[in-house]
Amino acid sequence: METVEAIGKVLLVGLVLGAGLPALFAVGLRLQSLSNGTVDADGTTSGPHPALKPLAYVIFAIVVLVIVVGILWITRQTIFYYTGIKIFPFGYK
């Protein structure tokens, strides 16, 4: 049963980080394009939505933050070995 739980946890993290981050980035791109205004298929234009641009930037910042934290998590042992700095309060050998 422990194996099934471990597989479930890996599957969940893989879905969130593996498919979730690109999907979140795509939502940010869509919001940024909507903030500039759109042209419909029949040629009519809709005005820009200025509130969507900051929201897109917040989403981009979240994606970048998750990537940076992931890189720091992977390299935490090396950083600690060479500098003595513990970036995270746990996970050291």
pLDDT digits (tens, 9 = 90+) for 10-41: 898 888 888 889 999 999 999 998 888 777 76
Can you tell me the distance from the alpha carbon of 47 to that of 38, in angstroms, rounded to the nearest whole number? 7
What is the share, in percent, of the chain residues with pLDDT greater than 70? 97
User: Could you give the CA distance from residue 75 to residue 12 in angstroms, rounded to a whole number?
Assistant: 23
* Between residues 86 and 36, the one the model is more confident about: 86
Which burial class, exposed, middle or buried, applies to 28 when counting CB atoms under 10 A from its CB (0-12, 13-18, 19+)?
Answer: buried
Yes or no: say if 79 and 85 are a contact pair by the CB < 8 Å rule: yes
Distance, in Å, from the CA atom of 66 to the CA atom of 64, rounded to the nearest integer, reads: 5
- Alpha-carbon distance 6 to 13, whole Å? 11
